[in-house]
Each structure stands twice: as C-alpha cells, then as structure tokens.
Structure 1
Amino acid sequence: MTMLHYLIVYIGLMQLQLAGAQSGTATSETSSSMGTSTPSAVQTVDVGEHGFSFDPDTLQVAPGGKVEFHFYPGNHSVAQASFDRPCHPMSDSSFFSGFIAPTSGESDTVFTVTVNDTTPIWYYCGQIGHCQAGMVGVINPPSVAHGQLQAV
C-alpha cells in the first residue's frame, strides 16, 4: 500500500470523528432466526449490504451494550484498528470476525461486540482493498465538532 492510500484512509477515519483506543469484547454466533431487542441494548450494523460500507458506520453505544454485525455477499470481515494505524489489526487481543462470505442475502453468522465503556472502538473490513475504499466505522466516536475535523 502506498503512502497515498494510507493518507486517504487516515482522512476518511478523521471524517468519521475517530480518536482513542478500543474497549470491547467480541463473539461470533450463527443463528437461524432474528430476534428483537431494545435499541439501547443491541444495535445492528449491516456489513457490505450497500457495497464497501458499514451501515451505520458510526454508533453511540452505552457500556454493556452490544453491536451485532450482519454480513452480506462480498467476503467481508470486521477487524479492530487504531486511529494511528488504520487498516491494520490493533493487537493480538483485538477483535476479528474472520471472513464471512454468504453467496446471497444476509449470512446466518452474526458477529457481536460487547462495549465495556465509552472509549472509541474503530473497525474496518480486512478484505483486500475494502478498508482502502473507505469501509471503516467507529463505535463511540470522540465529541469533536464535525466542522473542526473537516478543516484539517
């Protein structure tokens, strides 16, 4: 990857208002039925349903809340990153869903991250080229005004 790619990803992450380290745990499960839950306890992110994107790509989640990642065709993943090293796994203890590639529709595999506190948690798709194309997201972004980041 060239320095230009790193710069593009870095700017993209800044526009998502990212800063800080992770604070969450993750699990992966397969389910055959969809349950309902209260929006404050479990939030859903669609992975790759609309191309190289997480939808939504920014979430506010209270400590103890969960984020479920639902996968669509395209061989996607969810990997934890840090702001200063986008598109790279954060550490051996960071989360990674593994690659999930349903052939059509939504996968039965759901990857769940439990949020432990309000520290920002950044993530990206680890499939080659997806992060560089802007497939990134954040849980609990810092409270920096959007206009201030765009001016950078």
Structure 2
Amino acid sequence: MLPKVFFFVFASFLPLRVFAGPLKARASFTVNVGQEGFTYSPNSVDASVGDTIDFVFPGAIPHTVSSSADFNQPCVLSTKSNATNLQTPLGGGTVSLTVAVDGSQWFYCATPGHCQSGMVFAINPGPAGSPTSIENFVSLAEGRSISTSASTRTSTESKSLPSSTVVGAHSTAAAAATAGSTSDASRLFSIEGRTLGTALGAAILFSFVV
C-alpha cells in the first residue's frame, strides 16, 4: 500500500503593494571656464545633490576649479578631504562635477593672479544683496570691501532707536524712615513708569528729582 502524501500550499490573498515615489530628474549645467577672460560663465548655479556641472576648459590658458577655504577666504585652497581641484585637461576639454552636498559651495581658479582678478565660482550662493551673494564673493576675491543690505539696515535702525526716561523721586517713605518709622522704611523711592516697552539697544535715562 502506497503512503499518502499531502501537499499544503499556503497562499496570501492580500494585494501586493509596491511603493515607488516619483524619480526627480537630475539637472545638468554647463560652465565655460576662462573663455571670456578671467571668469566662469556663469559664475554661479543653483543646484541640488545629484546634479551635474560640466566645466568646459578652452585649453589655451591653464585654469582650475578649486574649493575655497570658505566664503571669507576665496583665494585660499580648502584643506578638507572632500575638496575639489579640477585641472584643465591637456588640450582643453570638459570635466564634470556631481554635486554631492547641500548648501553653498565656493570655488576659485588657483592659477596665480586669476582669483585676485575675480575668477571665482559658487554653487548655491546667497541671493543678490545678501551677505553671501556671488557679488560679495567676487569683491572679496578682488580685495574690495563688501556692503550688504543687512548691515545697512542695522545701521539705520540703530540711529532711530527710541529712548525712555524714568523719573524717580523721594517718597513719603523717606520721611517716615527719617522720623524713625520702620513700616515703610524699605520703600525709599517711588518710580513713575515701572515697566517700559522698548527696543534692543535703546537708551533708558533715569532722572532723579531730589
């Protein structure tokens, strides 16, 4: 007699769900290096992680795309381990850079004299008129002072800050204390305006009337 063989098949009748978010298209930018003098054209781009920047080198004059130490040191090479230092290919050509981090990134041409002529580049600089704008970065590279709307606004506000006056006068408590009374001896002065609404940096003038 043959043994009976039983086969058990387990099946899930639950619907299979596949989660797939939309894939974001990666952007690509082209930057001409030194084809219009000591400049990158354009000298800044707004890019996201994963985007590609193609630097086109003409080859006639050597140029670089080197990471700056920081915004305030445009012409100093960064010592960070992930610093960029792209060189002109032999005979010219295109070198691609993939954006790996978020935020602002600062670059310059390390060929002597080029950065000091304003040859700098930025990924995601601040907007025009802000302290970290590409215009200010160029000015710092050229050794010029920078001015920002933020500093101008602060200076203007400091000139118009209000002042408040608090008037203090001897109260009857002083006389009571002099007369030997101790009930009001702890209150030697009365002050008009015990609370003030004022701005940071405003002057408060205490005027004492004897």
Equivalent position to 1:85, from 38, 51, 73:
73
Larger Rg: 2
Gapped regions of structure 1 (runs ≥ 5): 1-38
Alignment correspondent of 2:30: 44
Residue aligned with 2:116, SS: coil
1:75 has 2:59 as partner: no
1:75–1:101 Cα contact (<8 Å) kept: no
1:40: Cα distance to partner? 5.3
1:125 has 2:109 as partner: yes
1:96 has 2:85 as partner: yes
Distance 1:123 1:83 in 2: 9
- TM-score w.r.t. structure 1 length? 0.62
In the TM superposition, 1:1-152 aligns within 5 A as: 41-72=27-58, 73-81=60-68, 82-93=70-81, 94-100=83-89, 102=91, 107-108=92-93, 110-143=94-127, 145-146=128-129, 151-152=147-148
Amino acid at match of 1:79: S
2:26–2:50 Cα contact (<8 Å) kept: no
1:101: Cα distance to partner? 5.9
- The one of the two structures with greater contact order (alpha-carbon pairs below 8 A, sep at least 6) is 1
Gapped regions of structure 2 (runs ≥ 5): 1-24, 137-145, 149-210
Distance 1:46 1:76 in 2: 11
Q: What is the identity percentage for the equivalent residue pairs of Structure 1 and Structure 2?
A: 31
CA RMSD after TM alignment: 2.3
Amino acid at match of 2:71: F
How many residues end up aligned between the 2 structures?
108
Alignment correspondent of 1:5: none
Amino acid at match of 1:113: L
- TM-score w.r.t. structure 2 length? 0.46
**1:16-69, Cα deviation, whole Å (9 max, x unpaired):** xxxxxxxxxxxxxxxxxxxxxxx9521011000001000000100112101111
